[in-house]
Amino acid sequence: MLPIDSAARSRGTAANSQTARAQNRDIILRTIHRNQPVSRADLARTTGLQPSTVSSITDQLIQEGWVTPGTLGRLPRGRRPTFVALSDRHVALAIDLRPGKANLALVDINGKILTRKTVGYQTGVCLTLEEAEVILAQVAQAAQSLKTDFADRVVHGLGVSVSGRINHKTNRLIFTPNAPWSQIDLYGELQKFFHGPIEMENAATACLFSERWFGEFRDASNLLLVSISEGIGVGLLIDGRIARGHNDMAGEFGHMTLDESGPRCGCGNSGCWEVFASNRAGLRYYREMVPESTISTFQDLLDLAKAGDLPALRSIDKMMACFTRGLTMLVAGLAPEAVIVVGECTALWSRIRPLIESQLIVRSFSSHTPTVVPAVDGDGERLRGAASLVLHKVLFGQADLLPDPAGKSAQPLPQEAQI
């Protein structure tokens, strides 16, 4: 059950037996993932590969345990086909590190969250190494209990979703204005507690992986994913690839200035988008309206809003109006096919969706406005994203490029090379 040899597929242009089989295996795996359950005959028709090549590689994947045969199909005549699918025995451990808590889950290769757990902790603005070790030890203990409960599954590694930007050459956090991990080598500390591969990614970008790996926008080439939590994070898929920018800093739109006279931001500037449109901003608006309030979390604010509390509803309306102001600028400049919103505020989607869509239409200078949808499960989206970092690398030998489930960028080799 080894990952595909990515070096073999990148050596030169000549189609030898090793590169041919690796490339065709990639195509078949992507097509199974996209269409499962699917028959061998449909795999051959969809990929353009010879039926004998499809059958040989599929049989090998079954023997290795990556693919499992499923139910028998029905045809008007002839032999009944056997459908195949990716085996859900393969899982990844996922951790979403947030200020004040860590969400953990085991996620299988098909995106199902098998079990999850939350570890709460108290943190200051910046953790010391000793404080970080205590927290990560608690997280590791919780992770071990999850793995014990599913001892029959094959755990391929740890995926970590974290607020902030990561230098992917050094695996060091390089920008974390809202998270307490900035002064420690988080990746190095995780290695002390977790043995095996570790993939770490910005939370918004991890959610993009989830959407392309498990979600409904598998065919999209241009996506904008905005995560609203303690701050605002943005993941960018442009022409089918993640936009990382110089020093991996692309996507920090939460720190573009909307009003220089606005509140001070954790990044050191004033009036950033996220100080007007994050969960913290929503809480601030409510406390300004109700100074005697004792609520301390955004979930408290949501609960009040759901119960019809007028100041709470007005606070969230103001927060989302500011959110939409920034979003219209991103849409104008990036022209996404769809915008995906991740965050607790989507619990009030029926209220906030008309505001977002109407402003996008009013401010659009073209006839097209992107589809705007919420992530169904905000925490789940981050966890699936963290898991997909590991699972994609295991299957396809690299973690940076998003999968092309439709196989549009991968063409089968000539028939004489389909070994």
pLDDT, tens digit, 9 for 90 and up, residues 349-389: 999 999 999 999 998 888 789 999 998 777 889 999 999 99
Amino acid (one-letter) located at 136: L
| Range name among 3-7, 57-61, 163-167, 385-389 with the lowest pLDDT average | 3-7
Shared domain for 184 and 290, answered yes or no, is no
- The CATH number for 56's domain is 1.10.10.10
Residue 113 vs residue 78, higher pLDDT = 113
210: in domain: no
Residue 102 and residue 115 in contact, taking contact as beta carbons nearer than 8 Å: no
For 100-105, what is the mean pLDDT?
93
- Residue in the structure block whose two tokens are 């005959």: 41
Whether 81 has a pLDDT exceeding 90, the answer reads no
Instruction: Kindly compute the dihedral angle of the four CA atoms of residues 187, 192, 196, 197, in this order, to the nearest 10 degrees.
Output: 0
What integer pLDDT is reported at residue 303 of this predicted model? 97
CA dist., res. 7 & res. 412, Å (int):
18
Whether 405 has a pLDDT exceeding 80, the answer reads no
Shared domain for 150 and 296, answered yes or no, is no
CA dist., res. 301 & res. 366, Å (int):
36
What integer pLDDT is reported at residue 77 of this predicted model? 53
Residue 62 vs residue 100, higher pLDDT = 62
Query: Please, what is the average pLDDT of the chain?
Result: 86
Whether 159 has a pLDDT exceeding 90, the answer reads yes
pLDDT digits (tens, 9 = 90+) for 85-94: 999 999 999 9
Could you tell me the residue range of the domain that residue 274 belongs to? 219-375
What integer pLDDT is reported at residue 410 of this predicted model? 44
389: in domain: no
Whether 221 has a pLDDT exceeding 70, the answer reads yes
Q: Is 75 helix (H, G, I), strand (E, B) or coil?
A: coil
Share of the chain above pLDDT 90, in %: 60
305: in domain: yes
pLDDT digits (tens, 9 = 90+) for 390-401: 988 888 765 554
Shared domain for 94 and 83, answered yes or no, is no
- From 87, 103, 123, the end of a domain falls on 87
- The CATH number for 305's domain is 3.30.420.40
| Count of beta carbons in the 10 Å neighbourhood of residue 94 | 33
- From 67, 87, 107, the end of a domain falls on 87
For 52-57, what is the mean pLDDT?
93
pLDDT digits (tens, 9 = 90+) for 324-348: 999 999 999 999 999 999 999 999 9
DSSP code of 180? T
- How many domains does the chain divide into? 3
The answer to whether the Cα torsion of 303, 307, 312, 313 is positive or negative is positive
What integer pLDDT is reported at residue 163 of this predicted model? 86
386: in domain: no
- Residue 408's pLDDT band, with cuts at 50, 70 and 90, is very low
CA dist., res. 325 & res. 147, Å (int):
44
- From 342, 357, 375, the end of a domain falls on 375
- Residue 216's pLDDT band, with cuts at 50, 70 and 90, is confident
Whether 215 has a pLDDT exceeding 60, the answer reads yes
CA dist., res. 417 & res. 222, Å (int):
33
